[in-house]
Each structure stands twice: as C-alpha cells, then as structure tokens.
A and B are shown apart, each in its own frame.
Chain A
Amino acid sequence: MPWFAVRVASIAGAVAALYLLSGLLTATIEAYVLQVLVQCGIYAILAVSLNLINGITGQFSIGHAGFFAVGAYVGAAWTMLWQPHAVRVTSALAMGTPAGDALNLLIACALGMAAASLAGAAVGLPSLRLRGDHLAIVTLGFGEVIRVLLLNIDAVGGARGLSGIPTLASTGDLAVFWVFLFLVLVIAVSRNLMNTTRGLTWLAVREDEVAADAMGVNTTRVKVTAFVLGSAFAGAAGVLYAHIMTGISPDVFGIDTSIIITTMVVLGGTGSVTGATLAAFLLVALPEMLRFMKDYRLVIFSTLLVLLMLTRPHGILGTRELGYATLFRRRQTGSPGTR
C-alpha cells in the first residue's frame, strides 16, 4: 500500500519537525512567553475540539470545561495514584527516563481521553432530544455536576485539588512539543473530516436536522460521535494541563472556563477550525499583552471583545478556513466551512 507508506513517512517527518521546532523555541524564547504559548496551545485544543461539537455539528454545548476536568483528573490519577501500583507489576512503567516518562504520559492521555469520551457519550445522549438553548442548559449543568463531584471526592483532594503531579516528559522543553502535537492532531482530525463527504453530513446536521435525516444521515450517530470525539480531545488537553501545571483544583474547571472556550469558538467563526485556533491564541495572549494596563486590563480586554463581535458578527473568519487554499487561490468551489 503506497499511500500508507507515504502517510506514515510524512507523519513521522511532521512529528520530527515539530520536535525540533519546539526544542528551538524553548531554547530561544524566555520562560514566561513559553508559558503563555503553552497555555495558548492547551486552549486551542479545547476550542478546536469544542468546534467539532458546537461549530460543525451545531450542538450548542457550554460545558466543555467538564470534559477538560475529567481528562485532567483521570490523567493525574494515573500518574499519582495508579502508576505506583502498576510499576510494581512491570518495571517498564518506571518514570525518570525520557522513554518511561513519555510512555506514562501517553497512558495518562489514553485514560483521560477514554474517560472524557465516555462522559461525552453520556452528555451526547440528551442532545438527541434537546436543541439549542435547552441543550446548552443541560451541558452547563453537566459541567457543574463534574465540578461539584470533584469538590467532594477526597481521594483527589476535594477543594484543595491535586498538587505535585509529576511533570513527566512534559517538563521544560517538551511541554511545547506535547501540547502542539495534540493541537496538530485535533486540527488534522477536524480538517480530514471536513474534507470528506462524511464531514459534510455533520454540517448538514447543523444546517437542518430534519432534512439531513431525510437524506439518509443517521443524525443520532453523528451527534453522539461529535460529542465523543470532541470531549476526548478536551480530555487530552486536561491531561496535558495537569502534567504541565503540576497542580489542579476544581475551581480551574468552572463555568467561566467553559464560557471562555465557547467564546473562542463563536469568536473564531462557527465551524471554522482555523478560526477557533486563532481565537484561542488571541483570547489567551491578549490579557497577557495587556498586563501593562494593570487594573484596567480586563476592562480593555472585554471592550476589545465587544468591538470585535460588533465589527465581525460572524467571527474572525466567519465560516471560512485559513490555509494555502484560501491564501493562494482566489476562487474555490465547495462550501464555506468545508475547506
């Protein structure tokens, strides 16, 4: 299978390039800027993953921080609570070496993604009956349920949360690498989907559910798949967050976090993958850039947001995508929001 060999080679090349680039960035950029960049990356993963549910499939969800939390706690539970037991069974899981750390981080990610996608399926099911603002309320409630549950589970520290989470391979110069690896992955998944007719059926569910159903689209499956896929990546973002910040507590995953992620999707332009990515970078970096304003920082930030929505009511990119196609080709066939 030639396409397979080409695909594997190009992916390996891209990963290697990303690794080298992140090493270069880490060596040249000051620590504070790097920290902001990592935060930008984590929020971009969250925004692009919510875009799968909210922007592309049109299921208005404002509880994304809940999936973020599930991933963070399950991932941290692996490295802090379960790994010490598992390492006694096989020493291959020992931490401390780069390979062992990477393996543990990947296991934590797998567990965090699995747990978050289960939660996603559980929230996706009501979406079969609920639409628009009704669904929004259910997802909002879900986010709060997760937060309150975490507050009351003593095994994960209750209100204090978990601290002293091992940094694993995500420490120092590898934080940028892991975060951007997952960001590239979620963007690739979104774009691959959007470049096929299967992705179009997801957009069709957003545009008109009744018509999509009549045209042979299994709307139930599309909606649940969107929730599962979107929350899995939010879970991965959670695992990375836990192992980079080394401390998590329930209040990190409150309503305001959900709202900011939803804002990124709306601001980027509903359905636009690159729009969501851009908006995430903007919304994380802008408050940092405004630090010189001191107390007026958040006032200015909010004002800028309002101004942006007034001037671009359909988001920064609308339903378009930014890429070599839009940058270098003047015209293209196909729908806005599909290329």
Chain B
Amino acid sequence: MKVLLSARGITKRFGGLAAVSGLNLDVREGELLGLIGPNGAGKTTVFNLLTGVYPPTEGHVEFDGRRLRRMRPYQAAHLGIARTFQNIRLFRRLSALDNVRVAAHVRTTAGFWSCLLRTAHAMRNDAVLTEKARALLGALDLTSVAAAPAGDLPYGVQRRLEIARALATDAKLLLLDEPAAGMNPAEKQELMELIHAIRRDFSVTVLLIEHDMRVVMGICERIYVLDYGQVIAEGRPERIRSDPRVIAAYLGEESEPC
C-alpha cells in the first residue's frame, strides 16, 4: 500500500522538554490508524507537528510525495490534511452550514476582487461551495441543524459537525483528536460507525487519537503507542493489547518496594 504520510525522526523540544523525540510514523493510504498513549505522551503534539502548528525541531514530514517544510496550518489544509480538535473549536456564532462553508472555501476558484464585484464566476463558485456544504451536512445527518448557531448544538452533534467541517476541505488525511471524548457508550458506537462510513464514502485516510480503548481496538487497523514522546509499540490491535511495554506504560511497571 502507498504511504500517504511519513514522519522521519521528528523531534519537538519546548525548552528543555522533548515532547516528541525521534518519532517515525507511516500512514498508509486508506487505512484507519490509531495513535494512543498515556496522558502527556505527546499525541496532540504529533498532530500539531503534522498540521504545521509547530515546526519540528528536528526531522521532516513527507506528505503525498512532497516534503513539507516551514508549513503553516492553512497550507496543510490546502495540501489535504484536515483535523478536528480535542476541545471542540467550532465557529460558535456561525450556523452549522456556514461552519462547513468556511472549510469548503479552501477549494474556491474566485479571487478577492471578483467577490467584491460579485462577478458571475464568483457567484457560481459560491453556489457550488454552498451546495457541497449542504451535501456534507446531509451525509453526516446534520441537515436539520444547518441554520442553528454551532455553539448552541448538543455536544455530540458539535463533534460530528467538526468532522463534517474537516471533510469539506477535501482532505486526503483526516486527523481526529479524541473524537469520542465525553460521549456516552451509545454515542461512541454511533461514532465508530460514522468513522467507518466516512472512510468508505469519502475515500479518506484516518489517523485518530483516542483514549477509549474499546473505540481504538474496535475500529483501528493499526495502532501506534506513544510514551514520553517516543513510539514504544506499533502493530495490529490484538498485538498491542498484549504487548508488555504497552501494559507497563499504562499500568506502570513493577518496582522494588522502597
């Protein structure tokens, strides 16, 4: 399978603290990959490095055959990397539809001046983007809340809207940061089905961070385990489950009584 994204020897230091050190990571096209690890293992930092929020201190990332350097987050979105946030970051006062339209605008073909002059091209382009946003809301069962301000929506719906928004950028790689956080078991089940459906219908590669082991083990085909900024294990869910290093990282190692 083709490798969509590969990170080689990525290190990120904040002062003396190495949040991520010497990380190697491969994301194959079309797979559903999990990134797990105890609190503070550096999972979100990895997301921030992949989307250009921070530049890596060392190492480099290759995406879709291109080497990324000094990339800003909006450029990552243009390349086809989209993300959701651990603590939902919707445009709260904009409607659900407009949240998605903002993201769809990445693929606009109308310039600034043609928007000010309302040229025929700009208006047509806009209609296309709006239609695309509506279709996405429909696909994620959000049509009924299209006009509601995003900040007023229930929590689970907000999570789904964030995924719809990320998909609107025509992402090749979707990074989901703890999509199941704060959900009840029924909602988690729905979410797992949703992620499967998205991957099938939008032919998108998914990398997700998740704490809920049932979710991760249930949907991920391959898992990376991160601890203290380093990959300590990689492989299929059943292998990860029984890996002694993973168990040690989560439960702590036995040590001599003091």
**A residues whose Cβ falls under 8 Å from a Cβ of B:** 1, 3-4, 7, 189, 192-193, 195-201, 203-204, 207-208, 210-219, 225, 319, 332-338
Contact = CB atoms under 8 A, between A and B. Distances in A.
Interface residues of B, number: 46
Nearest to B130: A197
User: Which of A198, A214, A319 has the largest number of chain B CB atoms within 10 A?
Assistant: A214
Given A196-B126, A214-B73, A215-B102, A335 B93 contact: yes
Contacts of B92: 207-208
Contact of B105 (A1, A198, A333): A198
Contact of B94 (A195, A332, A333, A338): A338
B32 interface: no
A53 to B, nearest CB: 16
Given A193-B116, A197-B105, A212-B102, 12 more contacts: A196-B122, A197-B104, A197-B108, A200-B94, A200-B105, A203-B102, A214-B51, A215-B165, A216-B74, A216-B105, A334-B95, A336-B149
Nearest to B88: A211
B74 A335 contact: no
Contacts of B104: 197
Interface stretch (B78-86, B198-206, B216-224): B78-86
Contacts of A196: 110, 115, 118, 122, 126
Nearest to B73: A213
A311 B112 CA distance: 38
| Interface SS of A by simple majority | helix
B149 A335 contact: yes
B91 interface: yes
A272 to B, nearest CB: 12
B179 to A, nearest CB: 15
B59 to A, nearest CB: 22
Contacts of B78: 216
A215 B103 contact: yes
A199 B115 CA distance: 9
User: Which of B53, B76, B93 has the largest number of chain A CB atoms within 10 A?
Assistant: B93
A203 B82 contact: no
B110 A198 contact: yes
A204 B129 CA distance: 16
A204 B91 contact: yes
Nearest to A198: B115
Contact of A335 (B95, B110, B118): B95
B72 A213 contact: yes
B117 interface: yes
Contact of B98 (A208, A210, A217, A338): A338
A189 B115 CA distance: 9
Contact of A319 (B82, B93, B168): B93
Contacts of B117: 7, 192
A198 B166 CA distance: 17
Contacts of A214: 51, 53, 73-74, 76-77, 82-83, 85, 89
Given A203-B91, A211-B90, A335-B98, A217 B105 contact: yes
Given A214-B82, A217-B74, A334-B95, A201 B112 contact: no
